[in-house]
Amino acid sequence: MSEARVSQVHRALLGVRDLIVSGDLTAGTRLHEVALSEKLGISRTPLRSALAQLRQEGLVETISSGGYAVRRFSRDDVIDAIELRGVLEGTAARLAAERGVDASRLAELRWLLSEIDGAMRGSEAEMDFDRYVELNAAFHEMLWGLASETIYREIERISRLPFASPSAFLNKQSGVPAFRRSLYGAQAQHRAIIDAIGRREGTRAEAIAREHARLARLNLEYVLDEAPGLIPQVPALSLVVS
Amino acid sequence: MSEARVSQVHRALLGVRDLIVSGDLTAGTRLHEVALSEKLGISRTPLRSALAQLRQEGLVETISSGGYAVRRFSRDDVIDAIELRGVLEGTAARLAAERGVDASRLAELRWLLSEIDGAMRGSEAEMDFDRYVELNAAFHEMLWGLASETIYREIERISRLPFASPSAFLNKQSGVPAFRRSLYGAQAQHRAIIDAIGRREGTRAEAIAREHARLARLNLEYVLDEAPGLIPQVPALSLVVS
DNA sequence: GCTTCCAACAATGTATACATTGTGGCATAT
DNA sequence: ATATGCCACAATGTATACATTGTTGGAAGC
């Protein structure tokens, strides 16, 4: 799903997004186009195009007087984005169950599940965390596409908000034990979702997928309330102003 | 909610969108930037910005060789867009019920409902159809915003697809009796949604809102299967191929 | 000393010029 | 006659120049 294009717009998109997610540009900061274009080595035209796209994604907002600024997010904004992701993933799961899924695709999903099991083998400290993250992302992306292209697009869109994506709290540096422990329950939910889809149990698939996204909310609230020191380690969570 | 801005980008956005929705540009048509810029009297820079935004909205897609083309929609694409709108409106209603809504806002919604009743007074032929359309749009927009700004934004986004909006099959010229008759059931659902929210019955509110959107699907299937002559009267339905 | 107005500057919004890439047609060779 | 390769043109992608609007600092007047 990664675009091979190396257009200037694409470069600008990645560049600015990285500056925001990494916390280099803090919430509310005005984005001066000339300064940014010089910093990134990209002319203003593709840069502006990228900024407009980031506005659609929600990371950036327009200022009344013109131009763009890094958006501020409240805790509730993040919670709602996670909730929405859960609702949409639930819809993908429900529609997949109701409409039916090719056996080959279900088999591929089950293969992903067994691979995840493999990555989690051993103790919490021993597990192949990086591989889990990779496989988890692949699993979710495949789930998104089970129902239809339209559904996939919408979930992919909401997941562009860095803190709403299924991998938001699974960054590699994070050695938070509580996060790793939550993965066992998460994997059980993965299995249950696929099982429900296979049995054409739409309501069950939807409910579990919604609940699955709640893990991200739990992690969010844990970080914000009990371990604020971790905030810089979660993508774009530094943009959350209470 | 209407932007007062008269920027060239805004003009281009409205211009191109109108050309597409009106059926002037048919599905699959490549959008030549120079020709369009001359036709609209707008230079290429803001025009390209508008095209990029229309791509985000889904009306337009990029071509592999570069440039844009009017998107083709299948029947299933439209069905999924309507389904998604229903799911999201259901989420707005559920969250509103679960989280609670200010009495003043509920009162305003109930006032809208009574106004709709007023517009529907009399026989099918006598009713003030234009006013119904206007009030219906206002009701839905207000419902979208009951839960949170984030939810509102997402529903507003999906409703930008002309055939997914709550007003898609309520165009003024349409004198289709079947459509008008469906409005009585629709209004009953409006009441039930607000009643459920007032009683904090989230599940019920969500279910009814989802079912409410199904009316649009019924209308869609009626037009496509039984009255294809009406296709040009429904915004952007001419983009639906096969 | 504080406020207000004006002017200069700096930033965004727009237009246009340039570069690069894809496409189509024509000619030539098999 | 058909297929292939090359060349010319046209379209998009990018950079830059220009216009317009907002902002800030300083000076003058109260």
pLDDT by residue (tens digit) across B35-89? Answer: 999 999 999 999 999 999 999 999 999 998 889 999 999 999 999 999 999 999 9
The predicted model gives B195-220 an average pLDDT of 97
What is d(CA B31, CA A188) in angstroms, rounded to the nearest whole number? 48
CATH of domain B75-239: 1.20.120.530
Per-residue model confidence (pLDDT) at position A175: 63
Give how far the C-alpha of residue A33 lies from the chain's centroid of Cα atoms, to the nearest Å. 27
- Token readout for A180 is 């790793």
Distances (CA, A) of A35 to A16, A17, A234: 12, 15, 27
- Token readout for A24 is 């280099």
CA proximity to A112, closest of A129, A95, A90, A136:
A136
What is d(CA B46, CA B77) in angstroms, rounded to the nearest whole number? 29
Instruction: Give, as one character, the DSSP assignment of residue A61.
Output: E
What is d(CA A166, CA B192) in angstroms, rounded to the nearest whole number? 35
How far does the CA of A196 sit from the C1' of C16, in Å? 59
How far does the CA of B66 sit from the C1' of D30, in Å? 64
The predicted model gives B137-143 an average pLDDT of 98
Establish how many alpha carbons lie within 13 A of residue A172's alpha carbon, considering only the half-sphere containing its beta carbon. Answer: 4
A210 dihedral zone (left: phi>0; alpha: psi -120 to 50; beta): alpha
- Token readout for B233 is 């009267």
**C-beta atoms of A95 and B83 within 8 A:** yes
Give all strands of the β-sheet with B30-31 in edge-to-edge order: B30-31, B68-70, B60-62
What is d(CA A177, CA A127) in angstroms, rounded to the nearest whole number? 12
Q: How confident is the model at residue B230 (pLDDT cuts 50, 70, 90)?
A: confident
Nucleic strand D under 7 Å from the C-beta of B64:
no
State the SS3 of B191-216. HHHHHHHHCCCHHHHHHHHHHHHHHH
For residue A150, give the nearest of B53, B84, B150 by CB distance.
B84
For B76-98, write each residue's pLDDT tens digit. Answer: 999 999 999 999 999 999 999 99
Nucleic strand C under 7 Å from the C-beta of B122:
no
Q: How confident is the model at residue B1 (pLDDT cuts 50, 70, 90)?
A: very low
Q: Does residue B125 have a pLDDT over 80?
A: no
For residue B81, give the nearest of A77, A95, A150 by CB distance.
A150
Per-residue model confidence (pLDDT) at position B2: 39
What is d(CA A1, CA A141) in angstroms, rounded to the nearest whole number? 9
Give all strands of the β-sheet with A30-31 in edge-to-edge order: A30-31, A68-70, A60-62
**C-beta atoms of B87 and A83 within 8 A:** no
Q: Do B3-70 and B75-239 have matching folds?
A: no
Residues of A in contact with B4 (CB under 8 A): none
Per-position DSSP letters for B86-105, written without gaps between them: HHHHHHHHHHHHHH---HHH
The predicted model gives B147-172 an average pLDDT of 92
How much is the mean pLDDT over chain B?
A: 92
Q: Considering only alpha carbons, which residue of chain A is nearest residue B80?
A: A150
For residue B148, give the nearest of A80, A88, A151 by CB distance.
A80
Strand C nucleotides in reach of protein CB atoms, 7 A cut-off:
11-17, 21-23
Q: Does residue B3 have a pLDDT over 60?
A: no
What is d(CA B149, CA A72) in angstroms, rounded to the nearest whole number? 13
- Global pTM reads 0.93
Q: Which of residues 102-161 of B touch A (CB under 8 A)?
A: 147-151, 153-154, 158
Per-residue model confidence (pLDDT) at position A1: 40
Residue extents of the structural domains in chain B:
3-70, 75-239
How far does the CA of A130 sit from the C1' of C28, in Å? 59
Question: Would an 8 Å CB–CB cutoff place B16 in contact with chain A?
Answer: no
How far does the CA of A67 sit from the C1' of C4, in Å? 28
Question: Would an 8 Å CB–CB cutoff place B88 in contact with chain A?
Answer: yes
A240 and A78 Cβ atoms separated by less than 8 Å: yes
Strand D proximal residues, A:42-61, Cβ < 7 Å: 42-46, 49
- Token readout for B203 is 């599940």
**C-beta atoms of B150 and A88 within 8 A:** no
How far does the CA of B65 sit from the C1' of C24, in Å? 14
Establish how many alpha carbons lie within 13 A of residue A121's alpha carbon, considering only the half-sphere containing its beta carbon. Answer: 6
B85 and B213 Cβ atoms separated by less than 8 Å: yes
What is d(CA B214, CA A236) in angstroms, rounded to the nearest whole number? 37
CATH topology of domain A3-70: Arc Repressor Mutant, subunit A (1.10.10)
| Alpha carbon of A125: minimum distance to chain B alpha carbons (Å) | 38
Question: Which residue positions in chain A have pLDDT lower than 70?
Answer: 1-5, 172-176
Shortest-distance nucleotide from A63 CA to C1':
C12
Q: φ and ψ at B194, to 5 degrees?
A: -65, -40
What is d(CA A227, CA A237) in angstroms, rounded to the nearest whole number? 12
Residues of A in contact with B217 (CB under 8 A): none
Nucleic strand C under 7 Å from the C-beta of A39:
no
Nucleic strand D under 7 Å from the C-beta of B55:
no
Per-residue model confidence (pLDDT) at position B172: 63
